[in-house]
Amino acid sequence: MRELVLTRHNELIDPLVRVWGWEIPVYLFLGGWVAGMMILVGYFLLRGRNREDTCVCSVLPGTSVVLLSLGMGALFLDLEHKLYVWRLYTTFEVTSPMSWGAWILLLVYPALAAAFALRPPGILRDLFPAVDRLSRRLDTPVGVRGIAAANLVLGISLGIYTGILLSALGARPFWNSAILGPLFLVSGLSSAAAFGHMVARHHEERELLARSDNVFLAIELFVVALFLVGLLSSSQAHVAAARLVLGGPFTASFWVLVVGAGIVIPLMIQLLAVTHRIAHTRVGPLLVMAGGLALRFVIVAVGQVSHWAKV
Amino acid sequence: MARYGMVIDTRKCVGCTDCVVACKTENQVPEGLNRDWIADDLTGSFPTVHLEIRTERCNHCDNPPCVACCPTGASHVDPFGAIVLVTPEMCIGCKACLASCPYDARFVHPDGYADKCTFCIHRVKDGLDPACVSVCPTHCMTFGDLDDPNSEVNRQLASRPPHALMPAAGTEPRIFYLT
Ligand code: SF4
Ligand code: SF4
């Protein structure tokens, strides 16, 4: 038997760590979603789909800028020393994933803006002739390939970074898995494909996005399994951390919200849709996105509770 | 260059919390928050029980994850004695360092920056012991340079088998407990 009593009761720390509330999961979700959309934009641009009037790649960059700004807003709300936020950009700390993220985000905006400028809304072209000129200048084979490559590379970096941000914090065994980067990346891709599936106007594109979303969801399921197996085959602290979702207090939220409602059910719905047994509806994509958000909430919450044996 | 650390004799510590009060007074630690604290660690089953009473604080780790994860460089290892410190004017209050410390030794100061034990660097620079060490009525704590083979901390470390907290976390703490 072991009984450990501390005279300490620091806010946000005792009795259990809860330094991050809703802001960080929302930021991680929106960051991952935008990362997925950048990868899709890169893919569609490389395929030359931007020539099509109805291509979803003309909707995603603008939406991404809005979502990313909301995510950064949530991150800002979480900061306790807000007036000093500019300190992020007075240094680059190579060992700090948060510092990498701050600089990656700074590059993401121009890449998205360039993709947006390839097909700006007509009203913007009419109002601002400079936008029209910029659009024409960028819309060359080299320009489009460059923008596609930038979106692909930065999208992958952003998606992986949202996972590394947590996995680098070795004090919390539940987060301490290199699989978290790929997990958040593939989850971001599935949210992006789900969103594309909802807003695509072209039938072929909708089918393609639904099919690719199914692939992403299947991969996500596999990566979730790998993540748990990785924890279970590691140290005692990691095994104890995995047990938090395998019989522990977070079992229901993890298996019902994240895996069940967020991956398995939408995968089944979308499999039926792409095999033309049911019509495409918004139910599947909405569940995928809600599952992506639940994944971040659950992982952030479980990680804060997990700890090393206090010896 | 010194590398400051502490050795704490758990057979002498009675958990009186004088060190806690001294730290709060010396460093004006805000109400409800603590830079140091007492842990009562009871193991075994009656009648074979073992009670270790420890005074705990930031371990000023040799491999500090709180410094590695800080995006602004606010958390740093000070050249003076390798003491781990936070520069409040550089801290954005992102709380990554709070999440990265396996000992939960940090907290957010009401003014918004990350805060924790400083080994009373202002006193040590004046040749004094940290406040907690100087007030302990049982003299259970010894502070000094771990790199100096003739220092009192090293003599204490050689006297009985020491243990550090959570060695598996890999932070290489510089506070040692004699059991
Ligand atoms: S005890 Fe925690 S706050 Fe102190 S140096 Fe080690 S990791 Fe950092
Ligand atoms: S809270 Fe402050 S000291 Fe801690 S990691 Fe963030 S910026 Fe660095």
Q: Which of A17, A88, A95 sits opposite B104 (nearest CB)?
A: A17
Class of domain B4-178: alpha beta
Name the residue among A33, A172, A168 with its Cα closest to residue A96.
A168
Name the residue among A215, A210, A221 with its Cα closest to residue A263.
A221
Q: What is the pLDDT of residue A100?
A: 97
pLDDT above 80 (res A171):
yes
What letter does residue B133 receive in the DSSP assignment? Answer: H
Domain residue spans of chain A: 23-85+93-305
How confident is the prediction for chain B on average, in pLDDT? Answer: 97
A164-175 CB burial, b ≥16 within 10 A, e <16: bbbbbbbbbbbb
Half-sphere exposure of B171 toward its Cβ, with a 13 Å CA cutoff? 27
Q: What percent of chain A has pLDDT over 70?
A: 100
Q: Which of A20, A96, A235 sits opposite B70 (nearest CB)?
A: A96
Q: What is the pLDDT of residue B138?
A: 98
Section B143-157 average pLDDT: 97
At A119, is the pLDDT very low, low, confident or very high (cuts 50, 70, 90)? confident
Top pLDDT among A50 and A40 is at: A40
Contacts 24+ apart (CB under 8 A), B40-48: B40/A3, B40/A4, B40/A5, B40/A6, B40/B15, B41/A2, B41/A3, B41/A4, B42/A1, B42/A2, B42/A3, B42/A4, B42/A5, B43/A1, B43/A2, B43/A3, B44/A1, B45/A1
Domain residue spans of chain B: 4-178
What is the tens place of the pLDDT at every residue in A296-309?
Answer: 999 999 999 999 98
pLDDT above 90 (res A267):
yes
Mean pLDDT lowest among A42-56, B90-104, B113-127 = A42-56
CATH of A23-85+93-305, one of 1.10.150.530, 3.50.30.30, 1.20.1630.10, 1.10.274.10: 1.20.1630.10
Contacts A304 to B, Cβ<8 Å: 99
Q: What is the pLDDT of residue A248?
A: 98
Q: What is the pLDDT of residue A61?
A: 96
What letter does residue B90 receive in the DSSP assignment? Answer: G
Top pLDDT among A51 and A16 is at: A16
What is the tens place of the pLDDT at every residue in B58-75?
Answer: 999 999 999 999 999 999
Section B150-172 average pLDDT: 96
At A45, is the pLDDT very low, low, confident or very high (cuts 50, 70, 90)? very high
What is the tens place of the pLDDT at every residue in A188-207?
Answer: 999 999 999 999 988 889 99
CB contact under 8 A, B73 and A91: yes
A99: closest CA of chain B, how far (Å): 4
Q: What is the pLDDT of residue B117?
A: 98
A237 vs B: CB within 8 A: yes
